[in-house]
């Protein structure tokens, strides 16, 4: 089985020495470079570059430069998506983001992890676990979202949080590690 196939299946794979994997990542980095050096006002060209990365997306999306990803084709964002400066998505596995999601500056979403055993890690091995972010989510500045995490609908993740486990729907969550602080209620509309 090819290393690329192992990656897509969520199995441990060679992320650092496999030529096919390296070629795919280098291609995405070149495309990200093109995106990051496009005039911010040239929205048509920016969307064409997003399509070149094979990012699946709904209508009305904006990703403010700089933006970085490993592959692009494993990313899906819904309509009315906004990401501020310096969004990093390490997408060895699927990253699915719902509609009406707002991401503040300096956010990292990582599906990638490495073996704890240094011998296996030194062999260039990696694994990837999908990340899912629901609809109507606001992610604050400087948040890190770790592999395998699911964030529910209508949730707010506070700035500087490190999300290491699932966060439910209708929740305000923050901290390191990020934890649910309280539920969002009708009182918040007032």
Distance of CA 33 to the CA centre of its chain: 18
Burial class (CB in 10 A: 0-12, 13-18, 19+), 159: middle
Domain 3-189 is found in CATH 2.160.10.10: yes
Check pLDDT > 90 for residue 35: yes
Mean pLDDT on 9-19: 93
How much is the pLDDT for 185? 79
Domain boundaries, the chain: 3-189
Local confidence band at 143 (pLDDT 50, 70, 90 cut-offs): very high
Closest CA relative to residue 73, chosen from 49, 94, 98? 94
Q: What is the pTM of this model?
A: 0.95
Check pLDDT > 80 for residue 189: no
Q: Tokens 């109507």 identify what position?
A: 136
Mean pLDDT on 118-144: 96
Q: From the candidates 114, 129, 150, 179, which is the catalytic residue?
A: 114
How much is the pLDDT for 117? 93
85 counts as catalytic: no
Each residue's pLDDT tens digit, 64-97 = 999 999 999 999 999 999 999 999 999 999 999 9
């Amino acid at each position: 089985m090819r290393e690329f196939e192992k990656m897509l299946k969520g199995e441990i794979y060679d992320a650092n020495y496999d030529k096919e994997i390296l070629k795919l990542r280098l291609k995405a980095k070149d495309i990200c470079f093109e995106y990051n050096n496009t005039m911010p006002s040239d929205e048509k060209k920016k969307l064409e570059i997003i399509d070149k990365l094979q990012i699946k997306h709904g209508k009305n999306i904006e990703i403010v430069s700089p933006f970085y990803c490993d592959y692009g084709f494993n990313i899906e964002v819904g309509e009315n998506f906004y990401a501020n400066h310096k969004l990093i998505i390490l997408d060895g596995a699927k990253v699915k983001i719902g509609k009406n999601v707002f991401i503040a500056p300096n956010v990292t979403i990582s599906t990638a992890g490495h073996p704890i055993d240094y011998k296996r890690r030194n062999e260039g091995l990696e694994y990837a676990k999908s990340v899912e972010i629901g609809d109507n989510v606001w992610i604050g500045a400087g948040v890190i979202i770790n592999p395998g995490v699911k964030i529910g609908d209508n949730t707010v993740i506070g700035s500087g949080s490190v999300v290491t486990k699932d966060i439910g729907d209708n929740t305000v969550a923050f901290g390191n590690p990020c934890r649910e602080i309280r539920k969002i209620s009708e009182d918040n509309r007032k």
